[in-house]
Each structure stands twice: as structure tokens, then as C-alpha cells.
Chain A
Amino acid sequence: MTTAAPSLLVDDLAFAYPDGHQALFGVDLRIAPGERVALLGPNGAGKTTLVLHLNGILRGGRGRVAVAGLPVAEANLQEIRRRVGIVFQDPDDQLFMPTVGEDVAFGPRNMGLDEATVTRRVTQALEQVGMADAADRPPHHLSFGQRRRVAVATVLSMQPEILVLDEPSSNLDPAGRRELAEVLQALPVTLLMVTHDLPYALQLCPRSVVLDRGVIVADAPTRELLADADRLAAHRLELPFGFSVR
């Protein structure tokens, strides 16, 4: 991107579900290109609601969202969904095509790219997550950690402006957790990571924002935030037993 526009700009975003439950009460968030940000917060804070606004799945509340300068609006949805790559928590939800290769090709083909480009994107995305040899395999034959990494590849193939990960470390074994961290660290992308895994946030994201009861209540360097136990506790966050950050 040549413009100075932030990768992600959320401005005074408020949203209530049709049943009246209000999830967001005016969220402001600005993420510069290349930044890596952890989105922390207790269950029910509105994290998922916020994420679903980033690519226009949810719309119609107050405020606005823009991705690299392009506002999220009905007319731009296809381009917005290319720019915002969301990796959902359960890889079985993300991987729905018969083979890994076809799944990674799903996004690029929806974008109308020609077949040669699609093939190149698929190969490249799978290489980036270390799964280059899995293209012809059905997803259910892969381990959970492998499926999670392939799920990341399914959005990398769209070359997104910003990668959004929902609980990337959940259900991974320690080695799978580390392997995913290595993959994510090597990716040259802007990153927004929703997580309860505070050590993971510290490892991967220099900056953290805390969302609680539908507003951003903290925005600070991750190390600084995690060192402040009282501030964490005020929002039902805490480091796992035995951990401390100085």
C-alpha cells in the first residue's frame, strides 16, 4: 500500500443484535500497516462481534470501519473480504472443500483470478505455513495443528491487507502451538489476534488492546499491560499460574 491509510480503522463502532442485546458501545481502533496487535478481553466482551464487523458480515450499527482506506460498505464487500483475512477458531468450519488445495484456492477463485495465478497463490500460501505437500489431501486426514495452519493458508492465498485470527492457539498441543507461532512470526502481514492466551499474545504481538463490555478499555504495549496484574484483573484477565512478566 502506498497510501498512509491505516490497515484497519474502526471509528466509534456501536452495534446491537436484532434481539436488542448491545455488544459494542463505540469502539475506536487504529492499526498501522505491519503492526501486530492482540485483542484481549473476557468472554462476552464483544470480540467476535467486532471481528465480524471487520469484513462486513455484521453491519448496520453506528460508526464506521475502513480497511486500508476503503470503507466497509455493501458496494465494496468483495474487495473488503479480500483485504481482511479472518481465520475462524474451528478449522473444521474453515476447511469445507474436499481437498486442502481446493480450499486454499476457494478465496482466489471467488476473486475471479485466472487459474495460473490461483495455482501460484495456492502453492505460495501452503509453503508459507509449511504445508506444501498437503495440497491433494482431504482436510480430515490432517492433524489438528496442520488443519489450523492450512486454515491460515486459506486466507493468505487472498493476500490480505490484515490477517485476523480468532483464538489461534486454542486446542493445539505445545508443539503445534510453537509451530503456528513460528509460521505467524515469519509472515510479512498486519495481524490482529483475538486470544485468551496471554503468553501467546506477548510472544507474537508487541501491542495489545483490551475490549470489555463493548468498549476498548486498554491499549498498550503487551509487556507493559501484562505486567499490570491489577489492570488485568479488572477485566477478568490473568496470566496462567506460574507466569509473570517484568
Chain B
Amino acid sequence: MGAGHSAGGISAAYVAGDSPVHRLEPHTKLVAVVAFALVVVTTPVQAASAPVAYAGFLALVLGVAAVAGVRAARLARSLLVELPFVFFALLLPVVSGGPRVQVLGLSLSEHGLWTGGGLLAKATLSVLAATVLAATTEPRALLRGLQRLHLPQVLVQILMFMVRYADVVLGELRRMRVARESRGFRPRHVGALRVLGPAAGSLFIRSYERGERVHLAMLSRGFTGRLPTGPPPVVGARSWATALTLPLAAAVVLGTSSLLL
């Protein structure tokens, strides 16, 4: 019996397209996004110029997203991952010390407002940049990029197998659920954990055994501990220049906003 088709899975973040952002070499994009995040993070939180800088950064990211054809809804959805940060950011003005201001009848710490707001802005900007990266780069291209940036082999391999087998493992998980529910199981209360716990255990065992079989198949084709890779693509200075436009522009925004204000 087939596993059916999975709509989600690990490649769900990717939005197919052929924009200039899509065409950039993955490792240049990775460097660009990390550099952008660094510029964003170094923005002094308490400076009067900070909000202007944040607005500038936001304009930059949204600009790149527009060029890449990543829709607003997609960006908004990705922000869900920072919900825990939002909670923390909202807490800061309440619990911080220092001079206080009255906002809608609440006594809030001025320092906490700046810090919380800064945290929120920085997290949002970084998540948006990472979302554009994920939406314009296929998972396997990202892996290639990490490899080119000399991330340790072991980490690249772990990520590679995760990308390859996430759908396979999810398929097994789905079949196990179907098998449970076909025999009338409904997870309604805590007692269900007595069924779900062993199910998780058996999924682990199955995945472990699959790992062994995959290793066997690799050995059988002459695997010696190093994943062989093809020739690296030639990346011109122009690709780097295009990719690094984003962090450079962000640095310019940061510089001018702190000079002007």
C-alpha cells in the first residue's frame, strides 16, 4: 500500500520561482542573511535612531521579498515561530525597573519598552530574512551552501539525511496513526499517552533500523566515511556582490540613521 502524498514535509518552505534571488548561489545567500542579521542585532537598542533603523531594515527585507515574489501571507505565517519571543518582549516593560511611563493606564518601564520593542523588532527582521532565504532556496541547495561554507561534514550529513528522510519518517508516523485509528483508537485523554508513548518508541526503533539499512547500502557502494560531492560551481564576484547588497545596505541604514539622529 502506498504512503499517499505528503503536502507538507520539509520542502514546504520553498516557493518555486525564477527570480534573481532564487538564482543566487545558496552559500552567498546564507552569508548575506547571517550578515544582515548581525547588522540588525548590533543596532543599539536604546538609541533614539533605533526605530528609524528598524524601519529601514524592514523596507530592505520587504524589498528583497518583493523581488523574490514571496507573498505577504507567506511572510506573516513564518512570524508564528517567534511567538515565544513576543511573549517575552511583552513581559519586559512590565517587569523591568527604572523610570516608568503611563500607557493606557498601565505603568510600564521605559527601559523595558525600548528593550522589549528592540527584541521584537530584531527577531522579526531576522525571521523575515530567514524566511526569504528558505522560500527562495531548496533545502538541498541550502545544504550545498552549508557544505561550501565548510560547515563540518558530520553536520552537513546529518542535515542531509534529515532532509531526505523527514518525509519517509512522517509517512511511517501517518501509517501508524491510520492503523491505530482504524481499530477505534481516539486520543481523548491523558490515558492515550500509554498508547502514544510506545508508538513513539517503535517509530524510533524503526528509524534506527532504517539508519542501519541505509548505512549498509552506503557501504555496499564503497562509502568510506566521506560523502563524495561533485565539482563546486564557479561563483563570480558579481553573485557575491548581488547577495551582499542586502547586508551592506543594512549597514548603510544603520550608519546614516545614527548620524542623522
- The winner among A78, A96, A98, A105 for most chain B CB atoms within 10 A is A96
Tell whether A144 pairs with B228 under 8 Å between CB atoms, given A88-B217, A93-B214: no
Residue A81 at the chain B interface, CB threshold 8 Å: yes
Is A102 touching B219 in the complex (CB atoms < 8 A)? Answer: no
Q: Digitize A53-87: 1 where CB-to-B-CB distance is under 8 Å, 0 elsewhere.
A: 00101000000000000000000001001101010
Is B222 touching A107 in the complex (CB atoms < 8 A)? Answer: yes
- A interface majority secondary structure: helix
Total residues of chain A contacting the partner, CB 8 A: 33
User: Interface residues of B toward A: which range?
Assistant: 20 to 34
Tell whether A93 pairs with B220 under 8 Å between CB atoms, given A98-B143, A115-B231: no
- The winner among A52, A90, A92, A154 for most chain B CB atoms within 10 A is A92
Is B228 touching A106 in the complex (CB atoms < 8 A)? Answer: yes
Residue B163 at the chain A interface, CB threshold 8 Å: yes
Which residues on A are within 8 Å of B, measured CB to CB?
Answer: 52, 55, 57, 78, 81-82, 84, 86, 88, 90, 92-94, 96-99, 102, 105-107, 109-111, 115, 118, 138-140, 144, 154-155, 158
Residue B164 contacts which of A86, A97, A105, A109 (CB distance < 8 angstroms)? A97
Is B221 touching A140 in the complex (CB atoms < 8 A)? Answer: no
User: Whole-angstrom distance between the alpha carbons of A96 and B167 in the complex?
Assistant: 12
Given contacts A78-B222, A96-B164, A115-B230, 17 further A-B contacts (CB under 8 A): A57-B219, A81-B221, A82-B222, A88-B213, A93-B216, A93-B217, A97-B164, A98-B140, A102-B230, A106-B221, A106-B223, A107-B222, A110-B222, A110-B228, A111-B222, A118-B230, A138-B140
User: Whole-angstrom distance between the alpha carbons of A147 and B222 in the complex?
Assistant: 21
Is B224 touching A110 in the complex (CB atoms < 8 A)? Answer: yes
Closest to A108 in B: B228
Closest to A54 in B: B220
User: Whole-angstrom distance between the alpha carbons of A86 and B223 in the complex?
Assistant: 14
Closest to A98 in B: B140
Collect the chain B residues with CB atoms within 8 Å of residue A138's CB.
Answer: 11, 140, 164
